[in-house]
Structure 1
Amino acid sequence: MPKYLIKFVSEELHAKTLTNGKLFMHPASYYHSLELGQGDIREGALSHNKMIYMNNHFPIYCLYSVEESEIENGFIKVLKKCIDDFHCQNGYAVVLDYEKFVSVLPTLNTYGYKMNAGEVQYHVIRNNEFAILVNNKNGLNLFIKHPFYVHQKEYRLVVFESLPKECDHKEYSFESSIESITNVVKISSCDLRDEIFMIPIKMKFL
């Protein structure tokens, strides 16, 4: 189970949007045409070979999950490669307490649509999984990514609202601000040691 979650963002305004309790979410299909790293042509795929898709119009929200083993003397160790993927070298890391974030998830207004959340699994989708994924009602295919992205250690939220093709995002809000369970860190202010960024925790509630 994660200890913390991190949202990497390129702009301070995006960090404030999250701490104010608003999640800006793109449909899975949005990531098909983005650059390598953040983009993934396989998002929403039922097969990593045939590129057959399902649920790819559902909005998703991606966070980096932090285990106890990645914490050292009040700092979270994050690979520089991961931050490079999200083009956030001059951006911000919003650190969230995992347990407290999960506890407020039921208060997220999803306009009556079901939501699922959990850690992403990293493996190549096998042919014998096709029927399982097609019949799964919890969007399981959106929680499986190719092993190429394993370093991104993603924790994902999925809202089961099928957005129209012309809609490339939707915003969902908590009942109130979640600032008290977050810490916003400017990444350029963090120490870089052997290709690892040391991100301070310093949560406000501690």
Structure 2
Amino acid sequence: MEENKTKPGVVLERFQDVVNRETPTILQKFVANLKPLLIGAAVIVAVAAGFAGYRMIQARTMATAQESLGVILAGNTGKEKIAALEKFLPEAPSGLRSAVLFELAGASMNLKEYDKAAGYWADLAARADGDERVVAKLGHAHALTRGGKAAEAVKELEALKQGAPEPFLVPLTRQLALAAEAAGDRQTALAAYETLAKSEAVGDRPFIESKIAQLKAAK
């Protein structure tokens, strides 16, 4: 019985009994609503505490995963690096998977495993948006070109060029020129090089002009 006196529900019930006997009707109605209000507040507090705990666990998980990724990148090279990253990818937090895919794509490119790199670039592009997606698409096209699939790269780059952010136009056009040339599409390659020649952001203008002359002579 003594325990019951300390329980909020019991105290509230007794308080309400007293109020019902000694207070006007309007005040009785207020007190009648007090119990669900207090219960609702308790639920909100409990949910907030649970959410805060969840966020804390997430932060700890991310920090641990970032540390694990750093160890992999610092302690592995070549095929060992790819194997370690591939093993880590399924268990990586969602917020870290793009970084892991980026590292896998770059490591595969370095080993000239272009088909594998193209797959990782494609996975990254599917997860990304904005500038990160453009970078992934450029990487994918580059992997296709180096992997002997230049015609596919040309189609992807031409589609990507529509609506691409201005800072990406020069590298995108350069990649399109190289892919088109590798695919034997001289007309597209020439148009891309001529576009580059008109840009003030191009630093290797003599090379661009020599490519234009070469492609025109080959017609």
Could you tell me the TM-score, scaled by structure 1's length?
Answer: 0.21
Hey, which of these two has a bigger chunk of strand by percent?
1
Answer 1 or 2: higher relative contact order, Cα 8 Å, separation at least 6. Answer: 1
Hey, which of these two has a bigger chunk of helix by percent?
2
Larger Rg: 2
